[in-house]
Amino acid sequence: MIFKTFSSPELLGLDVQPSGIYAVRLKHFGRRFQVNACYRKDLPAEIFHQGVIHDWHLLKRSLNEFVEEHQLVNLPVIMGLAEHLVMRHELQLAKNLGTDEIQKEVSDVFKSSTLLVDYLVAIEKEWLNVTAVAVQKAYVEQLVAVMSAVKLQVKIIDLDHDALQRMLLKLHLPTAQSIENVAVSARDLFAYFYFACDWKSLTNV
């Protein structure tokens, strides 16, 4: 799929897991990106509890050290969000439905004001396959707040290689509004985490 990115010549793909921080620094190469650098950092075990961020202050401190060490200040960021944090529901809808009607169908699935909701549409011959997803709003807000505190500009939250932009737009973030179209897919970007970086050989910082 096509996702939106930024006027900045560089972009940071960031994944924060219990096992550590993983980052891929990308640089514009024509209308696509090339890998500029890969970084990793172990995290204290107490930051996560059962796969969920528990100690936000300690995460902020670790991220701040990471950002300063690699001079990542003010880079636009695409973040990965662990799939176990996300609720997912598959819908099959009439092909002639418009955007407003699709959004209403998705909203009817997740009726809580504490959730951020997004959806992806795959067009079939006779219908629309819609994947509706939702995450806890407070968790995303806290995550974005920590990134902002260490001077990283979260632009897109990525789930399973799908760029979920509406989640950030619903938080009314100024950074989410200043983005332009380019022909690069989120799948391309996050593939770098698995194929372009030799994580085992990287020195922990």
pLDDT tens digit sequence for 116-138: 888 888 888 889 988 888 889 89
Measured in degrees and rounded to the nearest 5, phi and psi for residue 100 equal -60, -40
Is the pLDDT confidence value at 6 over 50? no
pTM (2 decimals)? 0.75
Assess contact for 40 and 26: CB atoms under 8 A: no
Residue 73 has a pLDDT of 95
pLDDT at 81 over 60: yes
Contacts 24+ apart (CB under 8 A), 136-140: 136/85, 137/113, 137/171, 138/114, 139/52, 139/53, 139/85, 140/81, 140/116, 140/167, 140/171
Q: How confident is the model at residue 185 (pLDDT cuts 50, 70, 90)?
A: very low
pLDDT number for residue 103: 87
Instruction: Flag whether pLDDT at 204 surpasses 60.
Output: no
Q: What is the pLDDT of residues 18-76, one digit of tens each?
A: 989 988 888 776 666 677 888 889 999 999 999 999 999 999 999 999 999 999 999 98
Most confidently modeled range among 37-46, 155-164, 167-176, 179-188? 37-46
